[in-house]
Structure 1
Amino acid sequence: MVRKTREEALKTKQNIMDVAKQLFCEKGYEKTNLSDIADVAGVTRGAIYWYFQNKDDLFIELCKDMIDADTNLFHLVEAINRDNLSPLQSLREWLYTINESLRCKDNILFIKIINNVLWGNHGSKRIKKMLRDINSDFNKNYLLLIKDAIKKKELPENVDPVKASNFLCSVITGYIMQYVDGAQSDIVDFNKPLVDMFIEQLPKFIF
């Protein structure tokens, strides 16, 4: 009976998180309240407080859950076996994983939610800081790989790693948002040629 009760509790919690994910995406973080989530999830508002102290806590756990998903870009990046790859090859393989990541509906929702909070006038300072830290940590990978590529002479020594990584971050972010917003429905099919083109531009960003 105890085991069944625990499983039911986990199922209820997951249901609440799934509903919150959908509503945060559809209505935005600020306009979604716990009563909305409770109504759609078919639970009481008090039931949500059993699992989460407030909306911020629910959002933070939801983000962590989505980041840990096997199909998330964060996970796909870590799964690349870099032992036999050079820095530039690792960077290329990493960006190739965008194709797989963007084919997952949950990742699209995740990106829309993050974009809504980061670039809209929404969310608490705590939420914004968490998302900016996640975004910053992720983008640091561009810089580190480009620096390693310069050290190993895959890129010219006069390449400015900051300028090159900022360029790569900007075009990849724009590329992803074009797809997520529905402006370019076929962009994922051309992921590899686009990535190759972006990589080829890196030697142009010199001191």
Structure 2
Amino acid sequence: MARKTKADALKTRQHLLDVAITLFAKNGVSTTTLADIADAAGMTRGAIYWHFDSKVSLFNEIWNIQSCIALEIRRKLKIQNPDNDLKLLREIIIETLKFISTDRRQHELLQILYHTCEFNGEMYSEREIRERYWFNRERMKKLLRNCISKGQIPVNTNVELAITIIHGYLSGIVKNWLMQPENLNLYEQAPDVVDSLIAMLTKSA
């Protein structure tokens, strides 16, 4: 019986997080209250305060439970070729964009990250969330250095600058797609989007 009670509590907690994600994405984080979440979840306010003592703790928990998209995609890739890191990088980004374009939950999470949250106080910052969930500089740095060592991108590539450019390029694509998805078929055009990025990386100085 105790196990069932614990399982029920975990199920309730997850339901509250799911509802919060949808409301945050739709209405904004600052304007959504814990009472709004409880009402939308069909629960009492006491139930939500049992699991979360504040909206900040709920918001941070949303990101604590998310896996890094790129790592999840990398595990699922059929092609694993350690001798061609540039090809691996290309495939990871393409599959990531395709995944984002077809998964409702990822769409909501990125909507929160880029459009409906005013980061402040003890909330995780946009940078922290991005590094944890969407774009990790250290992993990208390792891939780019491998590409340089294998002659796949120019040896004089400024890795830190390249990472900044890659992030700016991909963030811009995703932000604009979230605002006006009718202007870009992200799933179909993901290879073209990424090949344009790869072309910039491989261009000789």
Q: TM-score, normalised by structure 1?
A: 0.83
State the distance in 1 between where 2:70 and 2:147 align. 22
1:18 maps to: 18
2:102 maps to: 103
List per-residue Cα deviations over 1:135-163 (Å, max 9, x = no partner).
24624133332222112211121222223
Q: 1:87 to 1:187 in 2, by over 3 A?
A: same
**1:177 pairs with 2:172:** no
Deviates more, 1:55-64 or 1:106-115: 55-64
Identify the match of residue 144 of structure 1 among 118, 142, 149.
Answer: 142
List per-residue Cα deviations over 1:90-122 (Å, max 9, x = no partner).
2111111121232100000000111136xx5x2
Identify the match of residue 135 of structure 1 among 126, 130, 133.
Answer: 130
List per-residue Cα deviations over 1:24-55 (Å, max 9, x = no partner).
11111111111111111121212112111211
Q: What are the within-5 Å matches in structure 2 for residues 60-139 of structure 1? A: 60-65=60-65, 67-68=66-67, 72-77=69-74, 79-80=76-77, 82=80, 84-97=82-95, 98-116=97-115, 122-129=118-125, 131-136=126-131, 138-139=135-136
SS of the residue corresponding to residue 99 of structure 1 reads helix
1:154 maps to: 152
SS of the residue corresponding to residue 123 of structure 2 reads helix
Quick check: 2:70–2:93 contact (8 Å CA) kept in 1? no
Q: 1:52 to 1:74 in 2, by over 3 A?
A: farther
Q: 1:205 to 1:127 in 2, by over 3 A?
A: farther
Aligned residue type for 1:19: V
Q: 1:85 to 1:79 in 2, by over 3 A?
A: farther
Aligned residues: 199
Q: Percent identity over the alignment?
A: 28
Aligned residue type for 2:127: R
| Runs of 5+ consecutive residues of structure 2 not aligned to the other structure | none
State the distance in 2 between where 1:116 and 1:125 align. 18
State the distance in 2 between where 1:160 and 1:203 align. 12
SS of the residue corresponding to residue 30 of structure 1 reads coil
| Runs of 5+ consecutive residues of structure 1 not aligned to the other structure | none
Q: Which has the higher contact order (CA 8 A, sep 6+)?
A: 2
